[in-house]
Structure 1
């Protein structure tokens, strides 16, 4: 068996060996390489996902700090506060307290409805304090103003405000935390002189607890200040090694906006950190590496097991399918060898087969039957073509006799100086010569116009010039190809049907123009119209001895020549009292080979 696999001689073993060398082995190698790449991608995605979460943590906290800053700016820009807090104010203290508290409550309700409570404090230079909360102890407005003034003086006007973490001065029923995140600023009048101070505080621990409570429950979150002091941690035992804290600090000193990540091999943990320059806080997330790569390792194990199982199933299926394919193929090969010897009188039994093999054998049997049918039809059509050709040769005898007779009459008319008979013979001869040429289907437009004018010449001689023909066309379309005998039947229909009951004759207009890639032919007459002609013929019980060519004949020839790219429409214009036949064909131009040639193709 091993020898046969190494040197396969039959189709079955060749198929198996080819699948093994070209499919199974390369597929397995590609899967292993792909698994490694997928593992790296999944791990990177896990890290990126945690980075995005830290970025969202930082942005949410910055948004909250931004709300507090904007509130500070709005208070500074509120003219009513200066009106009540100014040393020159004439308002009663009760009125000032009522209006200032109303402004503070309105500001808090507008900006901080969806956040933890924010506490607003405003003091004037006289030591009066106004606030929107219940304090743990009385607020010393003079001390608050002096602390803010001194702190800003120490900053040497680097910024009009400053952030700090202070001891909580709010009632425990409102803010249970012991610390508050606070932003302080002076209130300046139009001359940049301070007339008061403002302090905005928030229970940041409560906000951080709410945010981390909705984040990753298996991760630990820490917040450190610029000195490395712990401001908040989501888990009691959550700590960061001093070495990592120092490295984060150095990283943020060079790139404060960068989101950094470090791995602790000792703790088998991943640390991600983001820095907030405005608060000088470092936000840190600690997550176990086992947790980070848990999903990746599970996918890897599942994929490897699936690869092994699929490989074994693929090998078994290859052997089974190759056996089912080669057996009927051998029968098909034998029957195809016998088909030529037995003149296609062979079939293959289809019992016991299903699916594609059954379709293949059924198609083979149908093909043999169809080939026999086609051979029979070809023989019948060949006999029919010979018969039709014979009939055409026979039918050409009569027109040739008529043409020779017509030439004789034309000679006699010329001899007797009978110009009318001579002109009729010339026009009729032109039509007969064209009808004898059965090899041409398309002729130049100029030649077709000549046939039409020859026919009209005969009719006008017959009916004493009762009909007037007007032709309008672009001379550049002289060699445009049109189906032979297209215009003459339309003119004939107009005379026979449109002017049948007319004593005074009629007007026929032929307008030929190019429209884009189409040739548009319009044949118009002012006759009675198709409906009136049919009614008149029915009343008179008129039956012609020879059936006319008619519109149906022209439509059929257009369909055979252009395969749906040409059209013929018949309309009746009631307003203009005329019948319009429109023919549209592809615009084909056949230039003559030399000057003076007729342009026949």
Structure 2
């Protein structure tokens, strides 16, 4: 026998059968275990708030740690604190440059009181360089300075303290300090530190509401007070805290009295990164002052929820979830790279309608930005290529033409024809060919034309070999890769060798990579020269200004950081540079866009 005429009635009956008994059990348990429930919920709630503060403090300190690392990595702090200056002007200029970097950060961060670097040689840079230094303070004797030197480059975060480096200023700060090292140095040359305004920590703690008697305080890894809303009372001995219990607890919670309603609830969260402990203190009497109200609220809520759940769930669930499911599907499309989808468009001002419209606007903006980025990358690559094509060194061209004139006057017609033909091929590919990609064969011919001209100029001092595996001759690669490397080998390797030298150009496959090598038996390089091989250098008249740095950047721009140049050299024996490219150059990197 059919009890229900339609599925709507069936759902209504099913919800009623489930909700009514569950509600009754809920009310009975709530009445029976109100105290435990309030305490447990309070513990969870306070734990979440305390962990939230802990996470914010960790994030904030980690940001400042990254800022200090960035300053060490991208500034001349180590060089300034360690270098022996013979020119006082150069010393002042370097200090001013460091101060400018400090000032730029200070101008955007009001929560930073001071950025400074102090060397063991007594050199000091503070903020923008215009601060008056307190001559009565000995920075090298400060505990945080010694701790930073002993930390072997690790970050040291001190508890709150009074900083007196700047004259007539004595603010409470938290210091993030790090030892400054220079390459090859056995000991630190000084310390870089960032002083955070005490309010930066206190504001994070005060933003959390734990009731009229509740509060949050912070301990460092040694149990010292970093922040407390009644810090003056603590220092004067008019108030004490359960610091030993907190340090023993680590993370968790405890009550100060067996009688729950007379106790204080301490909730602790210890950071794994800093060792600091954030403690939330709640007076339990505030938790239970509305116990009867809570019971009545449970009953009323249960009744209302029972009625609302039966009525609203059947009427609105489908209507409410339909646009959400549509939005979810749109987001999944975006995750897969399809930015041409749109969110569910609702004409009302509900949260889902606003979310759908915002999502559509966001996707449209991302699509526009991606298209602009692609367009900019295309223009950048074309500009770089045109710049490379136009960078045939005038001295090379003049010398080649002079050689042709000299050979013509000497009646060496065959050599004139060879050199003129090679120069013509060189100019044709360098100037006329606007394609971004060429075959390995074309790149090898370009190098061959260049070496033919140089061979005729240097005669017996230079010989060369070009060996390219036939299997890679037809593969595509970005142009103007080998010629700068060959030119570098000639002008910086072979030219300064007393006896004749040889340049060998090879191309072959190695696993899933295409390898091109340029080897010379010139004067070679020492380890220091190798370490700076990719540094930016000013062009000179001997080369075309297209250095190995340019070649490295273009390869990695197209194919990724895992590809590029690797150098091996030995002083007096020669140098080998290896070009690592993907086997499928057309399918890798930017894909010829």
**TM-score, normalised via structure 2 length:** 0.39
**TM-score, normalised via structure 1 length:** 0.38
Bigger Rg, structure 1 or 2 = 1
